[in-house]
Amino acid sequence: MTGFAVEANFALNVALLLMLLVCGIAIARTRSVMAAILLMSVYSLASAVWLVVMDAADVAFTEAVVGAGVSTIVLLGATLLARGQIERRSWHASIAPGVLAIGVGVLLVYAATGLPGFGDAASPANAHVGRAYLEQAAQDIGAPNMVTAVLASYRGFDTLGEAVVIFAAGIGVALLLGFGPRAQLAPPPEDLGDHHVVLRVAAKLLIPLIVLYAFYVQFHGDVGAGGGFQAGVILAVAAILHALVFGLRETMAAVPAKAARTVAALGVLLYAGIGVVCIINGGGFLDYDRLFTSRIEAMIPANLLGDPAHEHHWGQHFGIFFIELGVLLTVAATMVTIFYGFAGRVVGGEAKR
């Protein structure tokens, strides 16, 4: 029975990787930008499924939402902005890039042969610091999900860097494309009527559920797969879906562009602020053991939350909670800002919805 299970897993891996290969070749071969974007969406979805098969649910979440969802919409928005035509170039022009691409591909395949086997316990990544994390995390941090423990506490500084990178990306897009609509958005046409009634009803049902799911992913991140990044993009998807179905004007009334970029900055501020609070209370930057002063920690009942044997579990728990909240705010608001930047542009006096 176990032999069969392993073979089924192998077959699944091969099938999904073949799908990725076919998608990649199709993307390279198609001459239509729209088809390429949609194929990239399919590629992301297939790779998300593959990541689930590889037990990387956290990454699969992000890939499915960002790769297959948000980036597709943003790219489609970008094609609406760029009214161009594809020139057919002679094949001479593509010799040098082709050789370069094949060379890099060969190098990557060659490098991949040097990687340790999947799940190899003796590989350097799993033998040294990874093993230390696995052995210590339950005692040090008390979060059942090892990924959250490493991401939010041991490597909290790296994660702050990631949040800042996302914030900077949002700022960059906003500076290039503007923070929102440059001109007044056109009012929705009067005869919208019941043309899209099915879509509107479905979206109205789905949007609250998407938001609820985002909060589940956020607050369940300590225990299961998920966390601020995943929840943030799911939350942003709710706003983007609203804009796609009900029009950007309606969404901007609900989530103003100004509020979005303010919240994006607030998230980073919250994250970094937690680090500073830890410094003030006598620890290092983002050292959640010192999030609360010893006076407050003395007031907390020992067995209220998490592992009572662990000295600072309360500080660790709330440190992770707050920085994940900061990540959620930054990611969600930045995604919405980027979307507004693309969707709110006006081409030739005609407002895009």
- Using CB under 8 A, list all residues that contact another protein: 30-32, 34-35, 38, 73, 76, 80, 195-196, 198-199, 201-203, 205-206, 244
Contacts of 229 by beta carbon, 8 Å cutoff, 6+ apart: 62, 162, 327, 331
| C-alpha dihedral sign at 135, 138, 141, 146 | positive
Residue 82 is given by DSSP the state -
Residue whose C-alpha is closest to residue 240's, from 160, 344, 325: 344
Least distance from C-beta 240 to another protein, angstroms? 12
Measured CA to CA, the distance from residue 265 to residue 248 in angstroms comes to: 22
Give the nearer residue to another protein in terms of CB position, either 109 or 205.
205
Least distance from C-beta 32 to another protein, angstroms? 4
Residue 151 is given by DSSP the state I
- φ and ψ at 38, to 5 degrees? -70, -35
Q: Tokens for 329? A: 């705010």
Least distance from C-beta 216 to another protein, angstroms? 12
Residue whose C-alpha is closest to residue 322's, from 166, 210, 156, 164: 156
Angle, helices 257-280 vs 156-177, to 10°: value is: 150
Least distance from C-beta 205 to another protein, angstroms? 6
Question: In degrees to the nearest 10, what's the CA dihedral of 208, 210, 216, 219?
Answer: -90
Give the nearer residue to another protein in terms of CB position, either 85 or 303.
85
Least distance from C-beta 84 to another protein, angstroms? 12
Give the nearer residue to another protein in terms of CB position, either 213 or 318.
213
Least distance from C-beta 215 to another protein, angstroms? 16
Give the nearer residue to another protein in terms of CB position, either 9 or 32.
32
Give the nearer residue to another protein in terms of CB position, either 195 or 258.
195
Give the nearer residue to another protein in terms of CB position, either 310 or 352.
352
